[in-house]
Chain A
Amino acid sequence: MRYLPKSPAERQEMLAAIGAKSIDELFASIPERFRLKQALKLPGPFSEAEVIQYFKERAAVNAFGYTSFLGAGVYNHLRSVVTDAIIQRGEFLTSYTPYQAEITQGTLQAIFEFQTLMCQLTGQQVANASMWDGSTATTEAVLMAERITGRTRVLVARTLHPEYRDVLTTYAKNSGLHVEEIAYGSDGTLDQNILKSMLKDDVGAVVVQSPNFFGGIEPIAALVDVVHASGALLVTSITEGVSLGLVKPPAEADIVAMEGQSFGLAPSYGGPFVGVLASRDKFVRQMPGRLTGQTIDTDGRRGFVLTLATREQHIRREKATSNICTNQALCALAATVHLTLLGKEGLREMAHQNLSKAQFALDLLTKIPGVKRTFTAPFFNEFTIELPRSARMVNHELLKEKIVGPLPLGPSYPELTKHALVCVTETTTRDDIERLAKGIARALEQPVQ
């Protein structure tokens, strides 16, 4: 087998050196009745070509070739081939967690750069080496706020991504946290009056996403004072990181949890992505996950090490700030390479294209009779529209034109069954948008089934 570097003769030599007559002797500690007598029923073995053939056949019956207007936490953005050229290097791809700093300075310096970039983007002071994704990063941010304030009541905006709310609920059930939802107002952002009425001195965290699930930008700076006045912490969640190229970062928030998929990671049917957790220096000891710090060696040269490890599971065990061990290091590296390629101007330009194309799409779509803009809040690259009939029916027609239409909101928001979330990025062409508009118009002209 091509992955096993032994010849039959070598195996015999090694057995002889051990003093065993056969390999079965080495498994004698497993009681006989549990040792499998027959081979497992698995497909294969496949040669390299057959492995590729298998996956190409699966790939052929997916959605490649369709034009998509889906966002909702996973975004299609341009990715440079340079990113793969770097992360495919064996020294990055096949390297272990950098516990032995002298021989992993490459990984450690790259993580330090990642931590720096995340602080620059979010306006925070310290960021960790990654969490699993935006949904778990948001949950960990809430748990962190609970540790800091000692309070167990959590207020969560209804406009936080539905799947993120689900994940938080799962973790909260077992952590003694009480999670309540804050309704949104008619402009599509968090209703500040309702927030004020819900805030008492027992709230540990208020969680707001911006841009929110409907695409609207939440007024973070306006929220922070009222949240702090009650002694709670403000957690801001971000699912579309490219927005930070043009939108003010949530620098006033106490903890920021971000999904970094937009920074050079393929959609890949939902993962692997990269979670970002950023906060203030004063909260660093309550932060979960790995942290890389700058230091010097015995000759005074700059180097990097994992630090403040006493927060983590391998030292603190049951008192750790989190159980996280393996994180998303290679994805964080991909994001780091991607962002250094984009650079200051590139990120800004990419964000500007998103904004411009989304505005264009909104204008075009709301010219279709019966199609309305749902919310008035400013938006970045996603917005919500109301259709005169079920969004699912419209999408069914669009599929015939090889268009994956905007996400129907009904399943997650029963009060919004005629509404859909449109996402437009720099990868969406003008032609795509015009085709979408024509397709929706045609679909609405169809007699109701």
Chain B
Amino acid sequence: MAYPTNFRYTKQHEWTDVKGDVATIGITDYAQHELGDVVFAELPKVGAKVEAGKSFGTVESVKAVSEIYSPVTGEVIEANGDLQNTPETINSDPHGAAWLVKVKLANPAELKDLMDATAYEAFIADAEKKKEASA
């Protein structure tokens, strides 16, 4: 899957799409693939404060739980309620319909610390190489 060039990415495999002072956040295709079939997502409530680099929720498969780390600092203004009934969307459309939360940015300058699509693609290619080497 191609990684949208207008998104920014973290080393923990979250993406963020910023419009004005609102950041939409989700997990990447790589992350959902690693996790396997998603059965549940635990998301923060509207009004919750999130901090860059800190966990704000989890995504679960049958056998594993992944923390979701926020790329940005701010306040949650919307959480994706559809995911409660259809968590499998995270597998089928991780960059679109499976957005997790929308956050009002407290510090837009943080965005410069995130990777762009090219850097992220290189990052995961490198991770894959390391995995093969140790197998």
Taking Cβ atoms with an 8 Å cutoff, the residues of A that contact B are: 285, 309-310, 315-316, 319
Contacts and interface: CB of A to CB of B under 8 A. Distances in A.
5 shortest A-B CB distances, which residue pairs? A310-B60, A310-B65, A316-B65, A315-B65, A315-B63
A160 to B, nearest CB: 32
Contacts of B40: 285, 310
Interface in B52-84: 60-65
Contacts of B42: 285
A316 B58 CA distance: 11
Interface in B89-134: none
Most chain-A CB neighbours within 10 Å: which of B60, B61, B63, B64? B60
Interface residues of B, number: 8
Most chain-B CB neighbours within 10 Å: which of A285, A310, A316? A310
Given A309-B62, A310-B60, A315-B64, 8 more contacts: A285-B40, A285-B42, A309-B63, A310-B40, A310-B64, A310-B65, A315-B63, A315-B65
Contacts of A310: 40, 60-65
B120 to A, nearest CB: 27
Nearest to A314: B63
A309 to B, nearest CB: 7
Nearest to B67: A319
B69 to A, nearest CB: 15
Contacts of A309: 62-63
Contacts of B65: 310, 315-316, 319
Contacts of A319: 65
B133 to A, nearest CB: 27
State the majority secondary structure of interface residues on A. helix
Contacts of A315: 63-65
B40 to A, nearest CB: 8
16 contacts: A285-B40, A285-B42, A309-B62, A309-B63, A310-B40, A310-B60, A310-B61, A310-B62, A310-B63, A310-B64, A310-B65, A315-B63, A315-B64, A315-B65, A316-B65, A319-B65
B132 to A, nearest CB: 26
A310 B42 CA distance: 12
A309 B61 CA distance: 10
Nearest to B60: A310
Nearest to B62: A309
B34 to A, nearest CB: 15
Interface string B38-51: 00101000000000
B79 to A, nearest CB: 16
A285 B60 CA distance: 12
A97 to B, nearest CB: 16
Contacts of B63: 309-310, 315
Nearest to A319: B65
A310 B64 CA distance: 6
Contacts of B60: 310
B51 to A, nearest CB: 18
A319 B55 CA distance: 13
A148 to B, nearest CB: 13
Contacts of A285: 40, 42
A139 to B, nearest CB: 24
A150 to B, nearest CB: 12
Contacts of A316: 65
Nearest to A317: B65
A41 B42 CA distance: 55
Contacts of B61: 310
Nearest to B61: A310
A213 B42 CA distance: 40
A310 B39 CA distance: 10
A164 to B, nearest CB: 31
A310 B61 CA distance: 8
Contacts of B62: 309-310
A285 B41 CA distance: 12
A287 to B, nearest CB: 14
A294 B60 CA distance: 19
A316 to B, nearest CB: 6
